[in-house]
Structures are given as C-alpha cells and as structure tokens.
Chains A and B, each alone.
Chain A
Amino acid sequence: MLTRRVIPCLDIEGGRVVKGVNFLGLRDAGDPVELASRYDAEGADELTFLDIRASDQGRDILLDLVERVSRRLFIPFTVGGGLRSIDDMRAVLLAGADKVSIGTAALRDPDLVARAANQFGSQAIVVSLDVRRVDGRFELTTHGGRQATGVEALGFASKVAALGAGELLLNDMDADGTQAGFGCELLRLVADAVPVPVIASGGAGTLQDFVDAAVQGHAAAVLAASVFHFGTLTIHQVKAALRAAGIPVRLPPC
C-alpha cells in the first residue's frame, strides 16, 4: 500500500539552512548536507530544499549544494526558490535534484508548467501554491504571503494540474511558521479536486497537526521545517502518530 510521505523542508540561504517564523526573523542553524543525512537516517521519505533568497549570485552556491546532496543521499529531493525559466530548472535537475518546485513563475506564466512538464516530465514538476484567506475566499499570494494576487486558489490548482504539474505543494500562509496547524479546510478542498498528489505545508506544530492534514485534509504528504529542524518533533514521532491514526507510513528498520 502506498504510504503517506513525511518531508522535512530545509530553507536555504547562501548555502546554509535557515528557518524563521512566517519567513521573518531567520535563525542560522546548520549545514544542509549534514542535516539532510540526519533526516534520511531518521526516515524522511523525501527532502525539499527551498532557496529562500534566490539570487543570481547565489545560484552557483545552490547548484553546488544540490550536487553534494545528490552524491550523499539516495532518497528523492526537490529544489525550489526563484526558479523562473526552463534553463533554471534544467540546471537544478542536471545537478542532481529529482524535482523542481515553482511558485511565482507559474503564477506569472502558467504555460511554463506545461513547457516544463513536456521537457522534464510531470514527475519532476511540483507547483507550489502560497494561499491565504482574503475576504472569505482562498487566494494565491506572492512574496511570502504578503502580496495578494486576486487569483482564486482552487481554480488555479486545477489548472496547473491539467497543464502537467505532477504534484502540488499547498502552503497555508495564514498558518506558515506559526505551528498552529495546517489549514485542513483548504487542504481537503484542493486535495479532493485535483487528480495529482497534494503536499501539505505550513504551520505544523504538534503531532495532531500532521494527523489532521492526512486524515481530514487528505494530504498525500506532509512537509514541515521548524518542528524537525529545532528538534521539537522527530520524523519517527510523526510517523508513529500517523500509523496510530490508521495511516500507512514507512518506518525504517530500527
């Protein structure tokens, strides 16, 4: 039976791991390759690297990081943050990433999703959606949730899935970094509407939050940064809680 995935996210800046609440007040905390190896040993099903302040100068550092990770780790990993073009994506995939995550670029030019899927296959394309509730409806945002776009989230999710996104990463910006729980209403709405897997992201604080995302939110995977990164919860604890709730997970041999 297919298991639900637990995915630690490493927020990267200048080749180092950082994580802050709501993307503000960042705290430096660690070498990405070391952390990634630790997560692998703990039973992470995949990893995501998010280059939070993607810049042209930082791109070489990022590619070097991707290359180093791919030589040390043999589980799938996704790289996102500031990827704007087919060439950007190709560079990251050639360096060793299995998937790329695109957000703002897909919002600006949805057809980029179709071109990317055609080039690299849908399995390599994750579309990241930063969603926040605006006047009672779910809207896509940019700039870490600060800028509303007026684009309705569910319609856009269905559209990019049809264009060739292999997975959707749903980031609840009202909850991100607060550790107050995933937004399960939004999750379920999108997960039930699109034919591709939906990854829940943003706001996980307790074991129950992960269980809720899987059981109530119908998420195929759960992604979190802070709780794993600062050791509040271990991946094993999250998986044990999911299993106790009747959700199949992969538990690595002890």
Chain B
Amino acid sequence: MADGPRIALIDYGAGNVGSVCKAAEHLGFVVQVTADPDVVRTADHVLFPGQGHFGQAMQRLRETGLDRVLRQVVEAGTPFTGICLGLQLLFESSDEAPGVPGLGLLQGTNVAFRAPQKVPQIGWNDVKILRSGSPLDALPDGTHFYFVHSYHAVPVDPSVVVGQADYGVPFVAAVQRQNLFAAQFHPEKSGDAGLRLLAARLGAPC
C-alpha cells in the first residue's frame, strides 16, 4: 500500500481524466478518480483536469455541487492543480460562454485567439518562466509543452502568472497563487517534460 499523497482527480465528464490518471499512475501515485465531495474535501491534493466547453463544464460543476466543494478546498489550503480548461475555469468568466460565471478563484476572464493564427492552437510551445517558486522551476526555462486550446486567460492580477508563451500574442501558460497552481498546457501529454512537472507538483511518491 502506497503512503503517497491521497490525490483526488475530479471527474465531471470533461475530457482528459483518463490520460491525467495514467500519467500520475505511471509516476507511482495512487489516484482516486472521483466526483464525491467527501473524497475531494479530504484529499491531500486535488487535480482538476478539463477539456471542452467552458459553459458546459461550469453547468456540470454547478449541477453536481462540485463548484462549491472546489472553492472550499482551495480556500482551505489544499494543494490544487488545474489543467487546461481546469485553468480557465478558475477565473470569473470566458468569452466562450458569455454570462456564465466561472469559479472566480482568480480575478479575470478568458478570451479567444484570433486569426490569422489557426484556432485552436494545437502543438508544442515554449514556456517562459516569469516568476520562480512554481513547479515550472523543475524544468529549464523555455521548455516546450503541449497545448490544445482556443481561449486563454487574462488575469486581473499579473503577479499570478508564473509561465507565459507566445501565439501571435503573449498568453498565460501557467498561474500560481499560494496552494493553487494551474497550467494551460497538458503536462500529461507533454512527454518527459510534462511528467517531470507533474512529479514536481505532486511530490515524489513513497
């Protein structure tokens, strides 16, 4: 029986749960895929993946009551890691679903990439570390990660941005505030670099 952290991987029907789970298991972590509020509240670490539509994802979170639970665990100081849409949902809103409130844990919104860039952005982009003290420090500055997204976050407080990349415009690649860390890219699909980032974020398993 592993003595590593109890990791709750939030399953709310939004995509990449399976691949995040496999990556964490590959690293030796024991992961509980769950939508159970009690499991989430008592976890040592909450992984919040996401893929798909901002509005539909928020609707699912509200229907299941997970929106409140997620706010509670973040406010209680539980280490919390958002991935892709799981970063965007931390903010107050998105142009993808006008009028739909996000989790509002971070101030700001999400806006779309624009032509002439191809949308979605699909592929590997290099992430510049803007601020030290995040899991990005486990990798060299400028490491490439795999992105798939049409929208990107625009935080009110620029000091939460720890990683930035460029796609016609500079955009937020990773944010951190206290116990909260989130990546716009997919560490579970970013090869060795992504696995090293996940390992650094989750802490080495026993």
Contact = CB atoms under 8 A, between A and B. Distances in A.
B22 interface: yes
The residue among B115, B188, B191 with the most chain A CB atoms within 10 A of its own CB is: B191
Given A1-B166, A74-B191, A195-B119, A250 B26 contact: no
Contact of B52 (A1, A75, A98, A121): A121
Interface string A31-55: 0000000001000010000000000
A3 B185 CA distance: 14
B205 interface: no
A1 B128 CA distance: 10
Nearest to B122: A197
A5 interface: yes
B149 to A, nearest CB: 8
Contact of B118 (A1, A94, A121, A220): A220
Interface residues of B, number: 36
A196 B117 CA distance: 9
Contact of A94 (B18, B125, B149): B18
A16 to B, nearest CB: 23
Contact of B124 (A5, A94, A196): A5
Interface in A213-254: 220-221, 250, 252
B144 interface: yes
A131 B118 CA distance: 22
Interface string A195-220: 11100000000000000000000001
A98 B189 contact: yes
Interface in B122-136: 122-126
Interface in A173-205: 195-197
B51 interface: yes
Contacts of B52: 121
B59 to A, nearest CB: 15
Contact of B121 (A2, A76, A250, A252): A2
A220 B123 contact: yes
Nearest to B23: A74
Given A121-B52, A220-B123, A196 B118 contact: yes
Given A70-B18, A74-B23, A123-B148, A3 B194 contact: no
A130 interface: no
A13 interface: no
A195 B126 contact: no
A167 interface: yes
Given A2-B121, A3-B123, A121 B144 contact: no
A71 interface: yes
Interface in A148-178: 166-167
Interface in A48-105: 70-71, 74-76, 94, 96, 98
B195 interface: yes
Given A3-B144, A96-B22, A195-B115, A74 B122 contact: no
Contacts of A166: 120, 122
Given A96-B18, A98-B189, A74 B194 contact: yes
Contacts of A45: 123-124, 146
A2 B149 CA distance: 12
B51 A123 contact: yes
Interface string A1-19: 1111100000000000000
A70 B123 contact: no
Given A74-B26, A74-B189, A75-B190, 18 more contacts: A1-B126, A1-B166, A2-B121, A2-B125, A3-B123, A5-B123, A71-B26, A74-B190, A75-B146, A94-B18, A96-B19, A98-B16, A98-B189, A121-B51, A196-B118, A196-B119, A220-B122, A250-B144
Interface of B: 15-16, 18-19, 22-23, 26, 51-53, 115, 118-126, 144, 146-149, 165-167, 186, 188-192, 194-195
5 smallest beta-carbon distances between A and B, as pairs: A250-B144, A250-B124, A123-B148, A121-B52, A197-B118
Interface of A: 1-5, 40, 45, 70-71, 74-76, 94, 96, 98, 121-123, 166-167, 195-197, 220-221, 250, 252
14 contacts: A1-B126, A1-B166, A1-B167, A3-B126, A4-B123, A40-B191, A45-B123, A71-B26, A123-B51, A123-B120, A123-B122, A196-B120, A197-B118, A197-B120
